[in-house]
Amino acid sequence: MLGAAGGFVLFLYGIIPTFQQTHFHRVYAAYGGIFIVMALIWGYIFENNIPDAFDIVGASIAIIGVVVIFYIPRRSSGENSIWSNQQ
């Protein structure tokens, strides 16, 4: 029963971001970057695992990615991908 309940919670954990009002891929990317940083903070506070320089650099890259993906303004709501041939 505990495994089934855990599986259901994990299912909800993955589905809830899809209900956001913005583009799902941006919400999920921002969530991933924040998750990386929070995992390092958790390890530091609760497991006394001090992040090394590579942990800090990697988390910084993830946060920069969150800012670029989620907060950089786009042209319009009908945005085009850099990979499409549309101008």
What pTM did the predictor assign?
A: 0.65
| 20-72 residue pLDDT tens | 776 777 777 888 888 899 999 999 999 999 999 999 999 999 999 988 887 88
> Is the per-residue pLDDT at 85 higher than 60?
no
Could you write out the three-class secondary structure of 20-87? Answer: CCCCHHHHHHHHHHHHHHHHHHHHHHHHCCCCCHHHHHHHHHHHHHHHHHHHCCCCCCCCCCCCCCCC
19: three-class secondary structure by DSSP: helix
Which two tokens mark 36? 């990386």
Q: How far is it, in rounded angstroms, from Cα 32 to Cα 35?
A: 5
